Amino acid sequence: MAKSKTRFVCQECGYESAKWMGKCPSCQQWNTLVEEMVMTSSPKHTGIGSNTSQKPEKITSIETKEETRILTQMPEFNRVLGGGVVPGSLVLIGGDPGIGKSTLLLQISQQLADKKVTVLYISGEESTRQTKLRADRLGAMSDELYVLSETNLNLIKAQIEQLSPDFIVIDSIQTIFKDEVTSAPGSVSQVRECTSELMRIAKTKHVPIFIVGHVTKEGAIAGPRMLEHMVDVVLYFEGERHHSFRILRGVKNRFGSTNEMGIFEMKEEGLKEVLNPSEIFLEERSEGVAGSCVVASMEGTRPVLVEIQSLISPTSFGNPRRMATGIDHNRVPLLMAVLEKRVGLMMQNQDAYVKVAGGVKLDEPAIDLAVAISIASSFKNKPCRAHDVLIGEVGLTGEIRRVSRMEQRVQEAAKLGFKRAIIPKRNADDLVIKGDIEVIGVESIQQALKATLSD
């Protein structure tokens, strides 16, 4: 009879220990180590191609062919995936509870079922009746859409063998369990083993599988980071529950560009695409107000124009506050230090609040110039010109550095009616723009301030 022993596994990072500890030494989280049973004679792991004996091949002799992607009726969703759903891919979608993950996947399932693609929607959190109620509201009715309420992976595999679907949805991976693993559903061991088994099914049967993952309070997908390493594509569904707009962002994609972004609007009948997000983000912008600037940011392969807002006010505390929403909070004191040292704006006794309007998160260096100018605009109480767009990286010596894909950014600004683009001098020297927009190249933060805030 197989002997069993116990181990303690961190539910955040997957760290294993022979003894219980209050604090995980790997991820530094408290009370995350949970006791799990380990069978010494566990069944052999089955990976991709484990049933066949394969030999090494010369890479020059391997035959390849272009994958025929499965297209949905949502161009935004297709673009985030890199051009459509790749057969045999394993896609992980994470997001806050109630953000719309199940709604999006049910709509995608219905669109594929309308194309005579056999879809199996497996729900481990809802009954088939509950899924049917949501489908009635969304209008997701098709004879090719099958619904299964099951959490046992062995029974799910049997139904997949019997039905042979062309598209599979697992909602969610934290509810699925294997009988061979003794730990509870949602534990590190269960999530890892179930994901590995689903990956084998996707690769051997050449069937795309979408799995839903819960997120932690920090916004990361629950479970070990190994879960994100195992899958082919990782998508994050972001947005505020009290706002109608949702952002689908790709953070990993083996079949396309990363950091692609798709914008959706939540309505009563489901999620609708927003084909021109720049207009949405700028439609409520107040012109002639100090502290407001517009930047053209690249989200994957698409330029998006968003508004940067800053508010500088005298502090009432010994240490001034530095707060940022939508950008890295460490970037704000850095740019304020550049403005103090290189321009002479003394803001040591000022509170600073910086926000990206619309709920977008920006993390590229090209937004530095817009953030710095908006801070200076609020400090001087002088508004920027309403039809200016600012693009550029700011160095610690006050220089404005070159950024990539400048032509696409400026073209998008011209299309939306902006009259001037303040960009790095090195980008402006070799830039060819078709459109009614003036391009001004600047080499330093002083030149940028003179070009934007001077009368």
Predicted confidence (pLDDT) per residue in 70-84, tens digit? 999 999 999 999 899
pLDDT value of residue 3? 57
Supply the mean pLDDT for the chain. 88
CA-closest candidate to residue 295, choices 395, 381, 393, 377: 393
pLDDT beyond 90 at 161? yes
Predicted confidence (pLDDT) per residue in 213-253, tens digit? 877 666 566 555 668 888 999 999 887 666 778 889 898 99
Phi, psi of 89 (to 5 degrees): -90, 150
Q: Give the residue extent of every domain in the chain.
A: 4-39, 75-275, 280-453
pLDDT value of residue 29? 84
pLDDT-derived band of residue 455, with 50, 70 and 90 as boundaries? low
The CA angle 245-250-255, to the nearest 5 degrees, is 140
Predicted confidence (pLDDT) per residue in 399-432, tens digit? 999 999 999 999 999 989 999 999 999 999 888 8
Q: What is the mean pLDDT of residues 10-15?
A: 79
pLDDT value of residue 228? 85
pLDDT-derived band of residue 46, with 50, 70 and 90 as boundaries? very low
Cα–Cα dist 257/303, whole Å: 14
Q: Report the binding-site residues.
A: 95-102
Helix (H) or strand (E) holding 197: helix 188-205
CA-closest candidate to residue 34, choices 13, 62, 55, 58: 13
pLDDT beyond 70 at 189? yes
The CA angle 307-310-313, to the nearest 5 degrees, is 165
pLDDT beyond 70 at 324? yes
Q: Report the binding-site residues for ATP.
A: 95-102
Torsion of CA 380, 307, 235, 119, to 10 degrees: 160
Structure tokens at 250: 């790709």
pLDDT value of residue 221? 64
First to last CA, the chain: 86
Q: Which of 37-46, 47-56, 168-177 has the highest mean pLDDT?
A: 168-177
The architecture that CATH gives domain 280-453 is: 2-Layer Sandwich (3.30)
Predicted confidence (pLDDT) per residue in 342-398, tens digit? 999 999 899 999 999 887 889 899 999 999 999 999 999 999 998 999 999 999 999
pLDDT-derived band of residue 1, with 50, 70 and 90 as boundaries? very low
pLDDT beyond 60 at 47? no
Q: What percent of the chain has pLDDT over 70?
A: 92
Cα–Cα dist 246/101, whole Å: 10
**CATH homologous superfamily for the domain 75-275:** P-loop containing nucleotide triphosphate hydrolases (3.40.50.300)
Total-model pTM: 0.77
3-state secondary structure of 322: strand
